[in-house]
Amino acid sequence: MTSFTSQPEILTDYVDKDIFYKMIENKLSSLGITEQDYPLNSIKLAQKFYSNLQIEFLDFKSINIGGILFKHPNISSMALNKSRSKKGRNFDCMHELIHFWFHPETEYLCTYLSNNDIQRKKLEWHANEGAAHALMPKNLFIRKYKEFKGEISKLSDFFFVGERAIAYRILNLGLDDKFIFLEDVNRYILKKFSLRLCPSCQNHISNINSLYCGICGQYLDTIIIKGDEPMNYYGYELDTNLKLKTCPRCLNTNIDESRDSCHICGFYLYNDCSNEFCGVTKLPGDTRHCPQCGSSTTFVQANILKNWEDSLTWELNKLKYEQNLSMPNGQIKELPNWNDFLEFLALSGLVYTYKILENSTAKICGYTLVIYTPKNIFKEHIQLNDTLNIITENYNSIYNEEFYEIEVVCTDDFYPIHEEPTTSSYDDIPF
Ligand SMILES: [Zn+2]
Ligand SMILES: [Zn+2]
Ligand SMILES: [Zn+2]
Ligand SMILES: [Zn+2]
């Protein structure tokens, strides 16, 4: 039984391409054809399944004739052009098979010259589009296109159809527009595209010479140029020399211009490639992988930048947390005056309270004041009742913001928890 009963067997008009492709797929799968059978040999296929179809090879003298088909209830015959290549004949035979399967007329003379008969044009469109999909199924073709980096001769060998048919298929599926292979194409032409995104993490690739995505480390042999919105990933603010403004380890803000490392805790303040043979230094504050060699950067090695997936989860967890708190009135409010408030505490002589809040940020979500602190050490101090009372009284005295509760959160708490890998002892290392 075939699954074909819901579709009309005979086509006389244009059909939606997706529907037509589905019809072709159903036809092939009813014959037991799978991806393993590619490249598909259409002549063998016809000979195997249709004993009432005779195939002969004639010398038509003109290379513009693809094939001839006579359809008859008892015995049908097809003639293919001897003067065309084997690959060309593979396409021609599949073209005739489409007529054989789906079309009502009894005689077909198929040429590569343009046709003015409108009815004939429709049937020829079906036959070419159908043959293309049968011999080069869309999904398999896209996979192979990426695998072979768009090389037409390799695709032609894999699918066993002529290079012209391959080129037409690439244009027809719009692949030339979606993928550009950096090894084949002069990179400067990419400059005309305003938006180039990493295919795996959607990071905006601003430097056309990057070999690897700076966020996820994906090798950039293919780049999706158009499509989705770019993603932004968490990163650190750097000064004009690409050096950290605040030490992320000890939170020292008094950075010594003449030193590469924090003079309080010794933290290295630049984001460099960690591969000593590569030599790329001073990368942006959100870069996790070296754009030249793909190695992780010093920020990742020091664990102040997490991998892109954890960073994304972190952001989503934080947004979800804020949204849940905002339920009573739907409001999430940034507090741009938070730093002024902290200054006010310091000036009022509340030095301890100022100190533990110094690196915090705050938001009002619903009726809750959320205080974000970068370190757990501060969280314990802020959470004391006395401190919370001081914050509430002083904040309410200056700003007219309504909140009934305070929550203190360490920003690291939003990262996903991973199982600690079991640490191996030196005994396990074989010599
Ligand atoms: Zn035809
Ligand atoms: Zn990426
Ligand atoms: Zn430090
Ligand atoms: Zn590198």
CA of 197 to the centre of ligand 2 (A): 8
Q: What is the pLDDT of residue 39?
A: 96
Q: What is the pLDDT of residue 117?
A: 78
CA distance 48 to 56: 15
CA of 222 to the centre of ligand 2 (A): 12
CA of 160 to the centre of ligand 3 (A): 63
pLDDT at 425 over 50: no
Q: Which ligand is nearest to the CA of 264?
A: 3
Give Cα separations from 242 to 236, 238, 286, 305, 416 (angstroms): 10, 5, 11, 16, 29
Q: Which ligand is nearest to the CA of 251?
A: 3
Phi-psi region of 283 (alpha: psi -120 to 50; beta: other; left: phi over 0): beta
CA of 246 to the centre of ligand 3 (A): 8
**Residues 6 or more apart from 407 whose CB is under 8 A from it?**
325, 368, 369, 370, 371
Q: What is the pLDDT of residue 427?
A: 45
pLDDT in tens, 231-253: 889 999 999 999 999 999 999 99
CA of 273 to the centre of ligand 4 (A): 5
CA of 289 to the centre of ligand 2 (A): 9
Q: Name the least confident of 59-68, 243-252, 344-353, 404-413.
A: 59-68
Q: How many CB atoms lie within 10 A of CB 186?
A: 8
Q: Which ligand is nearest to the CA of 309?
A: 2
Q: Which ligand is nearest to the CA of 249?
A: 3
User: What mean pLDDT comes out for the span 350-372?
Assistant: 94
CA of 1 to the centre of ligand 1 (A): 28
Structural domains of the chain sorted by starting position, each given as residue range(s) with its CATH number in brackets: 17-135 (1.10.10), 141-180 (no CATH), 182-232 (no CATH), 234-305 (no CATH), 310-414 (3.30.300)
CA of 221 to the centre of ligand 2 (A): 12
Q: What is the pLDDT of residue 80?
A: 97
Q: What is the pLDDT of residue 181?
A: 65
* Residues at Cβ < 5 Å from ligand 1 ion: 110, 124, 127
pLDDT in tens, 2-31: 333 334 567 877 788 899 999 999 999 999
CA of 289 to the centre of ligand 1 (A): 53
- Which carries the bigger pLDDT value, residue 386 or residue 196? 386
DSSP summary character for residue 244: B
Q: What is the pTM of this model?
A: 0.59
- Total count of residues recorded for the chain: 431
Q: What is the pLDDT of residue 195?
A: 66
pLDDT at 177 over 70: no
